[in-house]
Amino acid sequence: MGLKHVLVLPYPAQGHVNPLMHLSQKLVQHGCKVTFVNTEFNHKRVVNAMNGKVSLDGSKVELVSVPDGLGPEEDRNDHAGLILSMERTMPSDLERLIRDINSMDGGSNGITSIICDTYMAWGLEVAQKLGIKGAIIIPSSAAILALEDNIPKLIEDGIMDSDGLPIKKGKFQLTPNMPNVNIADMPWSCFEDDFSKKTIYHYLAKTIKWSHLSDWWLSNTTQELEPGALSLCPKILPIGPIKESPEFRSLGQFWREDHSCLTWLDQQPPCSVIYVAFGSSTMFDTNQFKELALGLELTNRPFLWVVRDEDSNNSNGNTNHHKYPDEFQCTKGKIVKWAPQQMVLKHPAIACFISHCGWNSTMDGVSNGVPFLCWPYFADQVIDKTYICEVWKVGLGFDEDERGIISRWEIKKKVVELLGDEDIKGRSKKMKDMVMNNIAKDGNSTHNFNKFMKWLSE
């Protein structure tokens, strides 16, 4: 049997491209060739961050692209506009791409299967049309997918209307083992206007319909982390934690990683550094940014802070420049524009992680035994915070003051409280061992992944 050739299709955002790239690396280690399809816009960013390369020496991951259908000036931060455009134009472009690849070399090296991001699950229709296998992978928690798979029940129970808009107020639990969800925090509710909310809600409902075209729902989670969601939605196959493979590093990053922070970490005492990073799209207002800077200073501890200087998905050239307060000396801190996060969190100098709780960051922290200070911004991050603080109990949240701001004193207070809490530190270490056992030779996620590989190779 020839080499399996898998096409991998991420949603065009950093928190989707990274885990799908790490999965691609795993597929390559298991003997597959991977064609990784970014949108043209993101392809340029990735290639730029890799100094112009479209594959690394010896790698069997090839980067290709299709247009997202938006013009060069249109705002890719407008997710409603982006998904409408992608749904309109990308399926036929993807089909053409696959037909072209499959007609090369007499078809000997053709695409044999597609793995789509759940949010690009229309790719399964393309797979079906071309007679090739398809699977999906969810880059968020299994709880989110279980929630979306239960949309009809949420409508039936009068929690929301058929446009996804909340009817009731307060929290609900789909089953007793699932995290509490505030109705106002449904993943599509975080968008500002009703048009975006409805468009994204209806799109998500459609992605679930498409997802049911496949029996393979992969997830970057583990059995112990999400027993409730996995029993509610048994189709989800936990294969996490999906780790980056050092030999392929950077192949999915939108920004160049600054490795100088690793040398800096080498010079810090063990378990001393606060790592501060908010993923790829969180934006701060000026006052909050100032309080964060002064709060980090006030802790009197070394910190490593990621401050992006460019708005991630914005094609308008808008920048995310912040002015540091005059009093901010940064004598004990190091600031970088983008860090090699998985390597940073593995470093013995790291004491805790001030995080926006994106699912990938959550998995990065949990799988390295690093306790959290949670600062969620929107969408699924609020549910991830519930997991961290209320279910796994490996972190604390921040409280806002009367101005709606997390003050410098609150930041200092919570750092002191977290680092003095031996129970949280102990649970974080235990959780790391438990989670990492899943990808040991005889671990549950390894077993699941091997099952998937067997199906892929049949």
Contact call for residues 148 and 204 (beta carbons, < 8 A): yes
Per CB under 6 A, the list member of 203, 248, 305, 359 interacting with ligand UDP is 359
Stretch that binds ligand UDP, among 200-208, 224-232, 333-341, 395-403 (CB under 6 A): 333-341
Contact call for residues 60 and 87 (beta carbons, < 8 A): no
The identity of residue 269, as a single letter, is: P
Number of residues in contact with ligand UDP under rule CB under 6 A? 18
Per CB under 6 A, the list member of 7, 8, 10, 15 interacting with ligand UDP is 15
Cis peptide before 152 (omega within 30 of 0): no
Per CB under 6 A, the list member of 85, 113, 223, 341 interacting with ligand UDP is 341
Contact call for residues 330 and 301 (beta carbons, < 8 A): no
Stretch that binds ligand UDP, among 7-15, 60-68, 84-92, 193-201 (CB under 6 A): 7-15
Phi and psi angles of residue 246, each rounded to the nearest 5 degrees, phi first: -55, -30
Mask: binding to ligand UDP, 237-276, rule CB under 6 A, as x and -?
A: ----------------------------------------
220 touches ligand UDP by CB under 6 A: no
Closer to ligand UDP by CB, 134 or 333: give it.
Answer: 333
Closer to ligand UDP by CB, 214 or 361: give it.
Answer: 361
14 touches ligand UDP by CB under 6 A: yes
Residue 241: exposure state from Cβ atoms within 10 A (0-12, 13-18, ≥19): buried
Closer to ligand UDP by CB, 18 or 35: give it.
Answer: 18
Phi and psi angles of residue 370, each rounded to the nearest 5 degrees, phi first: -95, 125
Q: How far apart are CA 318 and CA 24, in angstroms?
A: 32
Q: How far apart are CA 294 and CA 303, in angstroms?
A: 12
For the segment 64-93, give every residue that binds ligand UDP (CB under 6 A): none
279 touches ligand UDP by CB under 6 A: yes
339 touches ligand UDP by CB under 6 A: yes
Task: Provide, rounded to whole angstroms, the least separation between the CB of residue 203 and ligand UDP.
Answer: 17
Q: Which residue sits closest to ligand UDP, CB atoms considered?
A: 15
Alpha-carbon separation of residue 297 from 161, 306, 307, 328 (angstroms): 46, 15, 15, 7
Stretch that binds ligand UDP, among 99-107, 194-202, 360-368, 405-413 (CB under 6 A): 360-368
Stretch that binds ligand UDP, among 9-17, 219-227, 234-242, 433-441 (CB under 6 A): 9-17
Q: Tell me how crowded residue 403 is: count the other CB atoms within 10 A of its CB.
A: 10
185 touches ligand UDP by CB under 6 A: no
String of DSSP letters for 66-82: E--S--TTS-TT-HHHH
Helix axes 79-103, 123-130, angle to 10 degrees: 20
38 touches ligand UDP by CB under 6 A: no
Closer to ligand UDP by CB, 127 or 239: give it.
Answer: 239
Contact call for residues 227 and 146 (beta carbons, < 8 A): no
Q: Name the site residues for ligand UDP (rule: CB under 6 A).
A: 13-15, 18, 277, 279-281, 306, 338-339, 341-342, 358-361, 364
